[in-house]
Amino acid sequence: MRLRRLRLRNHRNYAQLDLTPGHGVNVFIGPNGQGKTNLLEAVAMLALSSSPRARREYELVGPVGPGSRIEAQVETEGTVRELSIALEVEGERTRRTIEIDGAQRRAFDLPGHFRVTLFWPDDLGLVKGGPELRRRFLN
């Protein structure tokens, strides 16, 4: 399973990004607040069909316009697929459109085409935090 290309349009702090990751491990380094986590969030959205971080979808739309788009080309077992999620903000509502290979699909059709393992900085709270947090997690 490989991410061959990632394109972001008005996603969080990215006005535009076109990324072709290398084969193997890719490392993103930079100062705080430059978009490293936002980039990884976009990849996770393609696997999950929604953001693992945002409470409301309009939070994902950057300052350049009323919409956002995430597109990727992924390869799984020799099969290449085009995945995309578009968000359009209309007042208080956000409309999400998902496409797989150019065909509009439902949100639950997206998971499985691309898999990710999520680990966010907040996940360390379980290890570094107090015992009450671990007890709550185990319960």
Gap between the Cα atoms of 64 and 10, Å rounded: 6
Burial (CB count within 10 angstroms: exposed 0-12, middle 13-18, buried 19+), residue 114: buried
Res. 2 pLDDT band, cuts 50 70 90 = very high
Average pLDDT, the chain: 90
Q: How far is CA 105 from the centre of its chain?
A: 17
44-87 pLDDT, tens digit each: 999 988 898 888 888 899 988 899 999 999 998 899 999 999 99
Q: Strand, coil or helix: what is 91?
A: coil
Q: Please give the CATH architecture assigned to the domain spanning 2-138.
A: 3-Layer(aba) Sandwich (3.40)
